[in-house]
Structure 1
Amino acid sequence: MRRLAFFLSLSAIAGSPAVAETCPAAPDHSESLNALIEQVKRAETERDARLISNQMWEYWADAPNEQSQAILDRGMRRRQAWDLLGALEDFDKLVEYCPEYAEGYNQRAFVNFLRQDFRTALEDLDRALELSPRHIGAMSGRALSLMALQRIDEASRALAEALELNPWLPERGLAAPGGPLELKEKDI
């Protein structure tokens, strides 16, 4: 009986994503993303910029393998359905399985932002940006999280950095003159 319990527990552990297989490296889309960043800077209309941004999201949401893609997609569906606890569970699994994949942290941060757990969101956004420094979605999410934490000067700088890469971000109004994240000091 004890042997059976041991083998059952081993098979349960072996079936978990972290043990069953090692997550491969995330696809390197940096050249394509850099090209899209240059395109969005030159976009003439908000519609054009949105189409380019959608292409960026396709690259960021390209998970390392089928298993991680399935976890990411399910978590995103759950988040869209406002099953935030289910989404959080999926993104926890994704981060555990693929700790070097930036989008796992970014998506978990988004869920925590929606749950108004801004400190936890900020931790994940910082990790996402360590892994993918030009992830504009994580940059703007970081600015919004800092703003929610009343760290306005940091939020202003974070949003300014994101707007340098994509001047068409929906959050740009926050940095406009008179907006809550208007930069008070200008670099010369």
Structure 2
Amino acid sequence: MRLAIITALIAAPVLAAACPAAPDHTQALSELVAAANAAPDERAGRAVSDKMWELWLDAPDDAAQSVLDTGMRQRGNYDFVGAYASFDRLVAYCPAYAEGYNQRAYISFLCEDFSAALRDLDAALALSPNHVGAQSGRALTLMRLGETDAARVQLEAALVNNPWLSERHLLAKGAPLAPQGEDI
């Protein structure tokens, strides 16, 4: 494991001294939230979600983009140690870029380190409060931590921004995050 981390750090691109500000996609994301809410069906809603992800995955500069892309490839190849190291480098280089935290949180979630995932999701949401991916990830993490009420509230907030999330089914009657006491 230690060798994999060292290899990932050596193979990663050298990062500049200071990360520039992340691209400001506030207006475009607001428009996409409106489009998601107006989408007539799941297919159209998913297309809007894909456009949201394109914006979130737009790193502050080429060096950050390279590290992000490397981490995403590593994750896709189930190299969670390498992916975590890449996202850790990204967060260290670009501490104001929400997606670095969100991706590192996803690796922690996959490795069932839910406390670490929650810390990174909170950091991502502090930087980008309407990041639907981080919102839904936080809901899933809270659910895994047994914090059902908080998970329900977080998922409901995510659905305000994108009602077509697949996680919406967790709120259905009989599902893990369904409101309690409505059967009476």
Task: Output the TM-score relative to the length of structure 2.
Answer: 0.89
**2:115 match:** 119
Letter aligned with residue 165 of structure 2: L
Within a 5 Å distance, the mapping from 1:43-58 to structure 2 comes to 43-58=39-54
- Determine helix, strand or coil for the equivalent of 2:129: coil
Asked whether the 8 Å contact 2:14–2:63 carries over to 1, the reply is: no
In 2, Cα distance between the equivalents of 1:101 and 1:139? Answer: 16
Letter aligned with residue 162 of structure 1: A
Please point out which of 75, 82, 89 is paired with 2:78: 82
Letter aligned with residue 137 of structure 1: G
Deviation at 1:21, TM superposition (A): 2.0
In 1, Cα distance between the equivalents of 2:14 and 2:93? Answer: 9
For residues 11-70 of structure 1, the C-alpha deviation after alignment (integer angstroms, 9 at most, x for no partner) is xxxx953xx420000000000000000000111111111111000000000000000000
Query: How many pairs are equivalent?
Result: 171
Percent of pairs identical after alignment? 52
Letter aligned with residue 55 of structure 2: Y
1:171 and 2:167 are equivalent in the alignment = yes
In 2, Cα distance between the equivalents of 1:136 and 1:24? Answer: 23
Asked whether the 8 Å contact 2:18–2:93 carries over to 1, the reply is: yes
Letter aligned with residue 140 of structure 1: S
More RCO (CA 8 Å, sep 6+)? 2
Give the number of the structure whose alpha-carbon radius of gyration is greater.
1
Task: Give 4+ residue runs of structure 1 displaced > 4 Å after superposition.
Answer: none
**2:149 match:** 153
The 1:177/1:35 distance shift into structure 2, 3 A limit, reads: same
Task: Output the TM-score relative to the length of structure 1.
Answer: 0.87
1:64 and 2:64 are equivalent in the alignment = no
Please point out which of 123, 133, 137 is paired with 1:137: 133
Give 5+ residue unaligned stretches, structure 2.
1-12
